[in-house]
Amino acid sequence: EAAVTQSPRNKVTVTGGNVTLSCRQTNSHNYMYWYRQDTGHGLRLIHYSYGAGNLQIGDVPDGYKATRTTQEDFFLLLELASPSQTSLYFCASSDWGGAEDTQYFGPGTRLLVL
Partner 1 sequence: GDSVTQTEGPVTVSESESLIINCTYSATSIAYPNLFWYVRYPGEGLQLLLKVITAGQKGSSRGFEATYNKETTSFHLQKASVQESDSAVYYCALGEATGGNNKLTFGQGTVLSVIP
Return the residue of 21, 94, 111, 113 that touches partner 1, per CB under 8 A: 94
If one asks whether residue 100 binds partner 1 (CB under 8 A), the answer comes out as yes
**From the CB of 113, what's the least distance to partner 1, in Å?**
22
Q: How far apart are CA 89 and CA 36, in angstroms?
A: 4
3-state DSSP call for residue 101?
Answer: coil
Q: How far apart are CA 32 and CA 81, in angstroms?
A: 23
Return the residue of 13, 20, 27, 56 that touches partner 1, per CB under 8 A: 56
List C-alpha distances in Å: 72 to 25, 68, 87: 5, 8, 24
Find the part of the chain contacting partner 1 (CB under 8 A) among 12-20, 66-74, 77-85, 86-94: 86-94
If one asks whether residue 74 binds partner 1 (CB under 8 A), the answer comes out as no
Find the part of the chain contacting partner 1 (CB under 8 A) among 11-19, 39-47, 60-68, 70-78: 39-47
Report, in this order, helix, strand and coil percent for the chain, each rounded to 5.
5, 50, 50
If one asks whether residue 10 binds partner 1 (CB under 8 A), the answer comes out as no
